[in-house]
Chain A
Amino acid sequence: MPKRVGIEVSLAASEAACAVDSDVIAAYPITPQTHIVEHLSELVADGKLDAEFIPVESEHSAMSVCIGSSAVGARTFTASSAQGLALMHEILFIAPALRTPIVMAVVNRAMSGPISIWNDHSDIMAERDVGWIQTFAENGQEVFDLIIHAFRVAEDPKVLLPVMVNLDGFTLSHVIEPIEMLNAREVRRYIKPYKPQMVLDPKHPVTMGAVGVPEVYTEAKQQIESVLRASKKVVVSAWKEFARLYGRTYRPIETYRTKGAEVVLMTMGSVSETAMTAVDKMRDKEIAVGLMRFRLWRPFPLEEFRRAVKGVKVLAVLDRAISYGAQGGPVFMEVRSALYGQAGQPNISGFVAGLGGRDITTDMFEEMVKKAIRYAKKGKGPTYELIGVREK
């Protein structure tokens, strides 16, 4: 059995990239991602990981280097956060288009302005449409496991898409947790050597990234869309295989005490552990509340989500990002549209909280649940509000 060790979560993320024997790591430092790349550069410097560590001059170049190395068949890892992720934005679209199975740890952090190094999800929510598979971790063990899982999914010949594994900055990335670390030998049962399908090779010259004339652009997009949608099967079966080998189970939608729940709180990321405590407290007060979390965010697990909310009367959706001027937070809007026209759909309320590192307490979760129940009783349509804003 693998040993459980106390380790900082960022370091565990690096150890995961090391356990899969990454070939190239290109990264630019940004708080709170730094510990991941620092530790990776140590692993390379100490000869524990035989990889090229490329200390690039920007995140834009980090992602560009990753595409280059992946295009010649190298297993490629990087990590970023907030402004860095945004600087990559242009190139993020191109990685799935060229079908380069890069894996990136995204250490979620608030976007400027004002500048903030602390945690929320405004960085990743701006990258929903780039064509990457996106998963969310709630604790250190999940970070380690999901990174290993990401390589298996990304490099599957049926997928060949890049994957982002999201973990919350500081509140998750910088804490020390007991984590069961799989070593390279153990990971080899799960991760097979990467067999690239399309490589830059002088012996077989191919042209990658050709101009997408109007006659082909739509079809090129359809390829990405189809492969991304179909990747859900691979994502799920890779989790099943993970459970079989290592005993830990993951699902696209994770649930907690949803049995018999009339009210369900929806979250994602590390705040879910606080949410669980809040659910326990409310259950003690006889409120029939449960919790659902998105583990898989892209492709959006529509069927699993609809199945999970069946019978739920009230949904309270937490967003950790603002979508200025929109009808609500990004998660709220997607949840609502996923349920549109469904028979017996729940009353949905959206809440934005925990921006730029502000704590979300169990009391705040309780407030959201109670408000959602109240709005449902009053028959108020979908609402959206910020929680914890001082007016005075």
Chain B
Amino acid sequence: MLCSKRISKLNREGVKRLAKVDAITGWRNLEIGCAIIEPGSSRKLRTGDWRSQRPVTDRDKCIKCGMCWIYCPDMVYLPLRSGYFKWDENYCKGCGICANECPEDAISMVMEGD
């Protein structure tokens, strides 16, 4: 109960702030043992800005095999009802595993800004 109350408060305070800003708080605001009570809160960290290249999927070639999804270390391919996978630009670090593993060569890496 206590946890969920605190979480909604955290959410109200806005999820867009940067990690380090969030950590700057008075010691009385820390949870017991400095625990983090909001699961999966790393979603606030947009690691997508690390990227210099981004994967582009050619849906004409895509066979919906899901290799991009299962082999992604950053969980940036989200399965869609249609069977395709939606790429999440917020978190993709541009490693290129998906392009390398795609059995149909449907994914190509293109430079950001191009």
Which residues of A pack against B, CB within 8 Å?
Answer: 97-100, 160, 197-198, 204-210, 212-213, 215-216, 218-220, 222-223, 226
Contacts and interface: CB of A to CB of B under 8 A. Distances in A.
B14 interface: no
Given A213-B20, A215-B20, A215-B24, A207 B36 contact: yes
Nearest to A207: B36
B25 interface: yes
Contacts, number: 54
12 contacts: A97-B33, A97-B34, A198-B32, A198-B35, A206-B3, A207-B39, A212-B34, A213-B23, A215-B20, A216-B23, A218-B27, A223-B27
Nearest to B25: A219
B36 A210 contact: yes
A197 B3 CA distance: 10
A220 B27 contact: yes
Contacts of B25: 216, 219
Interface residues of B, number: 16
Nearest to B19: A213
Contacts of A198: 31-33, 35
B20 A210 contact: no
A207 B39 CA distance: 8
Contact of A219 (B20, B27, B32): B27
Contacts of B32: 99, 160, 197-198
Q: Name the residue among B31, B35, B39 with the largest chain A CB count within 10 angstroms.
A: B35
Nearest to A218: B27
B113 interface: no
Contacts of B37: 206-207
A206 B32 CA distance: 11
